[in-house]
Every structure is written in C-alpha cells, then in structure tokens.
Amino acid sequence: MGKTLGPFVPAPETATGAFFEGMMKRTLLVLICTISCFGGARAWETLAVSPPIPQDNPQTADKIELGKQLFFDPRFSSTGTVSCNSCHNLMLGGDDNRPTSMGVHGRTGPRNAPTVWNAAFHITQFWDGRVASLEEQAKGPVVAQPEMGMDNLDVAIARVRAIPGYRDAFARAFGGENPLNVDNAAKAVAAFERTLVTWNSPYDRWARGEIDAMTPQQVRGLKRFDQLGCSGCHQPPMFAGPRKPGGHFAVFPFHDGPFVGQYRLKDDVGRYAVTGRESDRHKYKVPTLRNVALSAPYFHNGAVPSLGEAVRVMALAQLNAGLDEREVADIVAFLRALTGEFPDITLPRLPATEGISLIEP
Amino acid sequence: MGKTLGPFVPAPETATGAFFEGMMKRTLLVLICTISCFGGARAWETLAVSPPIPQDNPQTADKIELGKQLFFDPRFSSTGTVSCNSCHNLMLGGDDNRPTSMGVHGRTGPRNAPTVWNAAFHITQFWDGRVASLEEQAKGPVVAQPEMGMDNLDVAIARVRAIPGYRDAFARAFGGENPLNVDNAAKAVAAFERTLVTWNSPYDRWARGEIDAMTPQQVRGLKRFDQLGCSGCHQPPMFAGPRKPGGHFAVFPFHDGPFVGQYRLKDDVGRYAVTGRESDRHKYKVPTLRNVALSAPYFHNGAVPSLGEAVRVMALAQLNAGLDEREVADIVAFLRALTGEFPDITLPRLPATEGISLIEP
C-alpha cells in the first residue's frame, strides 16, 4: 500500500513544529484538538502523486489523448447519445447526480454511478467489485443495455473502426498490426482515467501540515469520523476499503433499522449476484469518500438524497450509532474537505465521419 | 451585409497576382479554372472576424465563461441528462449526428438539430426561423418536452438559483440587483455561442488567395455549385440565406420527384406552423453549409443519410437538375472545404451543489 499510494505523512508532528513559530488563537485550538484527538500517533495519508500504472499499459501522451476522445465520444452508444462522460461527468463530481443513471432510450439501471475521479486508485471496480481493473471496467457500460446499449463489443469497435481519425490515433498510440481493437480501446480509456486525480483537497493540505486548510469544524468532524469507526472501512488516503488483494467488501446495511425499509437498502443482493456465495449477499465495495460532497444522491441505489442523511444512515446501519445534529454537521463538514482540485481538461475534438453518420435512425 | 460579415475578398485577382511569381502546373490549372469559372468578377467572401454583437449584450469574459457553464450543464433538464451540448456537440460538428435529437426519457422531436457553430451569423434561428436572436433561441430547448423537458423557465431558473456558484457567476457577469434571471442566462449562453466560430476553412484560405488551399476537385465543385444556382440561396460567406431583415426562407422541396416520398420531405409544414400563412407552407430557413460534412444526416427531418445523397436531393428538388456522379463527388469535395478550424475549448467546471442533488428521482 505504502509505495503505490504514497508515504504516510505525520501531520500532527509537522503541526507541532509550526506551533513554535507562533500562531493565532484559532490555529492553536485546531492544533490542540488535533493532538488530543490523534495523540500525534495517528498518521493521515495523502493521495499519491500517481495511481498505480499496470506494467502492460504504460502511460503515453498519445494513448491518454485517444482515451480522452473515446471517453467523451457518444457515437459508441446505440443511440449516439451516451458517452462515458454522460454518467461520469468530469465537469461535475465524476458522476451524474442522479439516483441511477439514464442511458439510451431513457432507460435506467439499478445502481448509482460511482465517481470516475480517483477510480484509478481502486483495486476492484463496480459496486460489486466484479472486475479488477479500469481496463476491464471500461468494456462494461458499452454493452449494458440500460447504459450505452450496444449489442456487443464487436459492433462497438466496428463503429470506432469506421472513423478514419481513430484508425490513425490507435496506430499512433499502440503501433503494431491491427492496433484498433477492443483491448486497446479499453487500455486507452483506462490510461486517460489514470490522469483523473484530484489532489490537494483541504484534507490533503491539512495532512501535509497546512494546519489552517481544514476548519475547526472539519477537524472535529474528522475526529468523530475516526472515533466512530468510519475510518475502519473508509481508510485514508482514498477513504475507501483497504487495498488488499481481491478487494475489500462490506455488508451494507449491517444492522437493521428504519432506514433499511425507507431507502430500500436490501432490495439489491450486492456482490452475491457476482459470486453466488451467500456470504456475499448485500456486500459492496467500500466506495471512496473523496469528492463525496459532489456526488449526491448516495449509496448503491442512490436512494438517499443528501450527504447529511447519508451520514445518519451509515452511522446507524453500519455502526449502530445515533448521531446528534451537531455530529452530523461536523462529519459533513469534514467530508467536504475531501473535495480536491480538479485538473484543467481541454475538450477533445472527436474525429469526423465526413458526410455520413454512424447512428442508425 | 458587408460591414458585419466581413469584406468582399477578390480571390481571383489575388490569384492572378500570384501567377507571375511562378507556380506549378496544378496551381496553374486551378487558376485557369478559377478565372474561367468566375471571370475575375465573382467575389467570394470569407467569414468575418466576429459575428454581429447586439448592443444590449456586449461580450465580456465573465459572461462568456458563465454561458459556457450553462451550455454544458445538464442539470437544467428534467432528468439531469441533457445539456445544450448533448444535441449541439462542440466536440463534433455542433450537432449530434442523429436524424432527430434524443432528449429526456429518450424522447425524440420532429427536426434535425442545426449546428451551433457559426450560428451567431444567422439573423433568424430554428429551422422555421421562429426567433430572431440567439438569446431567444436559448430559451426554447429548455422547455421543449422532447429536449430538456422542463415544465417552464421559472422551474429551470430556480435550479440555477439553487447552485451557489452560479449566483456568484451571474453577479460577476451582470451586476445589478437580482442578476440571476432567465434573460441574463440566455444572454450568457448567446455570448458564449458568439465565440463558436470556425474560421480558416480551406474555402476561406482559398478565397483569401491561398490558391492551393482547395484541391482542383474542390474548385471544380465550387464552380458547379455556383453554376447550378446553389449559391443563389446558400450565399457566401455563410453559405446560408441572405441576411435580409426578417430572414430568408425557401420552399423545400420546390419540385416534386421521387425523393419527396422516399425521404418524407413534405410531412413537415415548415414555417407555416409559425405564421399560419399558406405561402409559408414547407418554407425553411436556408441552413449554413459551413461544416456541413460533419453534420450528417441531412435536412429538417434528418432523413437523408449522406452528403452525396443530400446534394442529389437538393439539385433535383430545388433546381430540377439531375447530376452525374462526378458532379456529385465534386460538389461534395467542395462542401468538405467548408469545414473550418475549431477553437480549443477548456472543459468548464460546473459549480457544485454540495451534498445534495437537484435532480428529482
């Protein structure tokens, strides 16, 4: 974990050093809180400079640019209206702010779109962790009938092949014979997605010693988040499940309670649908909390409308803890500190099909 | 026309000057063709540096940036899935390459999406010219039920108002009291659209004297286009109807023939639906041919799949002329010379609604 996900940064020690340089009252309070909460022992990791790069898919500029084009191109959906970016909107929090996404013909699927921001740090993909890599993930939505709705990947890649500019772009990115194929398309999209990292959230800056980067309320929220046990599953630096081989899955909801019926939390069987193992019923990958303030509504079915309510639901359903409103507000404030800085992205020009359309009426 | 749409550029004379500097055989052939076709008298206008800017909506950086955000933001459609860019895709030819667009819930409307590139040069908007300005146009799709599907503009602007970042952006762009309103939103979108100009097409470069910018086939195509009478309605520099007050409308199809039934060209009553005047039946605004190679399929109903077929249909239905395949190929080649250079656009960050979603389940 340490090598690929970055060093442990001992934030409280750094803050202690800063203390002797003289700081204002508010900073002092934050510092005291930080030390008393975490005792100088708890280390808060920040996001690594780069996500892990697979050996068989090194990052190159040509490949990333091609992946960006494919990511934004709606012509590989049956109706020509849905691209990766439709549901994983990079202008927003990397999702679509809908309970479940709307694909071709206005169809909706059963699950909430996970954010694509920082997805490269996950070791499994999809809510049920059914694939291990971004490369494998990229092939799924293209042929999902409520998403991009193509009959199969051969039909989809035939559309790519029909566009002269893509033939050139695949040759530049991959070389070799017949470079324009499904696996290379998935590799290109994955390479682009590995650039979608949001560094420098207030939390990251705070954890690197910039003690004013989080407000006192946010630090209080982090403390409560940690004390309650949220960080047992939502572990820094991704505030997602631990990076153990095969992935980390948690039963949700763990405890019964009023929210389970209210938000239909058990209607979905979770990872059981993938493995058929009874022990995987209602199990899900622990999603990242980075940029979680931007991705309402919440949970696998998107049934919970607000972040405050999501905090209440998690506390009760996972930890059997009732929170008062101040605790909820503090934790929400902390979660907002996980919103990072978004890189500038130039809109790609999509290669043309001159004088014809690939979309059937 | 001259002042706002740029100077008449006497391309043939410029070419004559270049002749004496010594040019290769191919260039000589082009030159002879150019002179013999157009006799040195026909002037070919190029696209002006800027489209006309209305006095009550001057261009400012803040307003253009706000307009870009609104243009790309899907949250003002009922489902949260459709933005201006969904059907007027700036990564492509400013449309969606569909016969008719697909809006919320997979609904489709009756007409093909016109390109937004260079739309700022038109003096009427929509196929039936029902409004005169980009500002008025921008309000239409938001409340069209097969497009963005909002109940009314008040509901739409309430969503904008619910996003803190937009409140700031409207204040910056417009100032004054209550700047966040429908009219200002439309002004911002229109201001952004006035930046969507594609200069320097091969035609424009050719018309400015860069005689090799068009191939001999393209010059031949332009000649035939002109001789046939296409340029009577598709006038340079926009290759759209003349900029006369109130707009210019043409009956389509003008002549009966096999294409009329084959492509259902008379199913739509055209401008008659707006004015109720019998003389407006099947009348349409003459669309621009700039970037036409990128906007298949063709015509008001998008029923004609290819540019070559569109040329055949127009020749027969409007000019009662049958073309041989070489003529069609030449004219198509010329039309490809109307594809311009597209400006770089940085993807906007859309202001967040932290912890909530504006989209109803």
The pLDDT tens digits of the residues spanning B73-128 come to 999 999 999 999 999 999 999 999 999 999 999 999 999 999 999 999 999 999 99
Q: Answer whether residue B271 shows pLDDT above 90.
A: yes
Residue B350 is encoded by which pair of tokens? 């859309």
How many Cβ pairs within 8 Å bridge chains A and B? Answer: 143
Interface of A with B in 299-328 (CB under 8 A): 302-303, 305-308
A308 contact residues in B (CB cutoff 8 A): 355
Are A99 and A297 in contact by the 8 Å Cβ rule? The answer is: yes
- What is the pLDDT, as a whole number, of residue B354? 93
Is B92 an 8 Å CB contact of chain A?
yes
User: Domains in chain A, ordered, with CATH?
Assistant: 61-193 (1.10.760.10), 200-336 (1.10.760.10)
Q: Answer whether residue A18 shows pLDDT above 50.
A: no
Q: Which of B91, B104, B356 sits opposite A305 (nearest CB)?
A: B356
Q: Answer whether residue A29 shows pLDDT above 50.
A: no
Contact B352/A294, CB-based, under 8 Å? yes
Contact A347/B90, CB-based, under 8 Å? yes
Instruction: Give every CB contact of residue B29 below 8 A, 6+ residues apart in sequence.
Output: B216
| Predicted structure pTM score | 0.89
Are A125 and A118 in contact by the 8 Å Cβ rule? The answer is: no
Q: Answer whether residue A7 shows pLDDT above 90.
A: no
Are A78 and A104 in contact by the 8 Å Cβ rule? The answer is: yes
Is A73 an 8 Å CB contact of chain B?
yes
Element (H, E) at A251: strand A249-251
Contact A97/B359, CB-based, under 8 Å? yes
Q: What is the ipTM of this complex?
A: 0.89
Interval B25-70: pLDDT, tens:
444 444 443 444 454 446 899 998 899 999 999 999 999 999 999 9
Are A98 and B357 in contact by the 8 Å Cβ rule? The answer is: yes
Nearest to B70 by CA among B141, B146, B176: B141
Cα separation of B89 and A72, whole Å?
A: 10
The yes-or-no answer on residue B21 being catalytic is: no
Q: Among all residues of A, which ones are annotated catalytic?
A: 147
Q: In which residue are the tokens 């059937």 written?
A: A360
Average predicted confidence (pLDDT) for chain B: 90
Q: What is the band of B243 on the pLDDT scale with cuts at 50, 70, 90?
A: confident
Reduced to 3 states (helix: H, G, I; strand: E, B; else coil), residue B216 is helix
Q: Answer whether residue A36 shows pLDDT above 50.
A: no
Cα separation of A26 and A290, whole Å?
A: 26
Q: Answer whether residue A40 shows pLDDT above 80.
A: no
Is B96 an 8 Å CB contact of chain A?
yes
Contact B361/A303, CB-based, under 8 Å? yes
Q: Which of B102, B107, B306 sits opposite A356 (nearest CB)?
A: B306
Interface-testing mutation among A78, A91, A111, with chain B (most B C-beta atoms within 10 A): A91
Are A144 and A103 in contact by the 8 Å Cβ rule? The answer is: yes
- What is the pLDDT, as a whole number, of residue A4? 30
Q: Answer whether residue A359 shows pLDDT above 70.
A: yes
Average pLDDT rounded to a whole number, residues A208-229: 97
Interval B298-313: pLDDT, tens:
999 999 999 999 999 9
Burial class (CB in 10 A: 0-12, 13-18, 19+), A230: buried
- What is the pLDDT, as a whole number, of residue A118? 98
Burial class (CB in 10 A: 0-12, 13-18, 19+), B325: exposed
- Which of B45, B147, B309, B327 is catalytic? The answer is B147
Q: What is the band of A243 on the pLDDT scale with cuts at 50, 70, 90?
A: confident
Cα separation of B122 and B140, whole Å?
A: 17
Contact B98/A80, CB-based, under 8 Å? yes
Interval B1-31: pLDDT, tens:
332 323 333 333 333 333 333 334 444 444 4
Instruction: Tell me the DSSP string of B136-148.
Output: HHHHHHHH-TTTT
Interface of B with A in 328-357 (CB under 8 A): 332, 335-336, 339, 342, 344-350, 352-357
Q: Answer whether residue A191 shows pLDDT above 70.
A: yes
CA distance B292 to chain A (A): 8
Q: Return the ∠ at Cα A192 (arms to A201 and A84), rounded to 5°.
A: 95
Nearest to A213 by CA among A348, A337, A67, A51: A337
CA distance B237 to chain A (A): 21
Q: Answer whether residue A275 shows pLDDT above 50.
A: yes
CA distance B239 to chain A (A): 17
- What is the pLDDT, as a whole number, of residue B49? 85
Contact B353/A97, CB-based, under 8 Å? yes
Q: What is the band of A11 on the pLDDT scale with cuts at 50, 70, 90?
A: very low
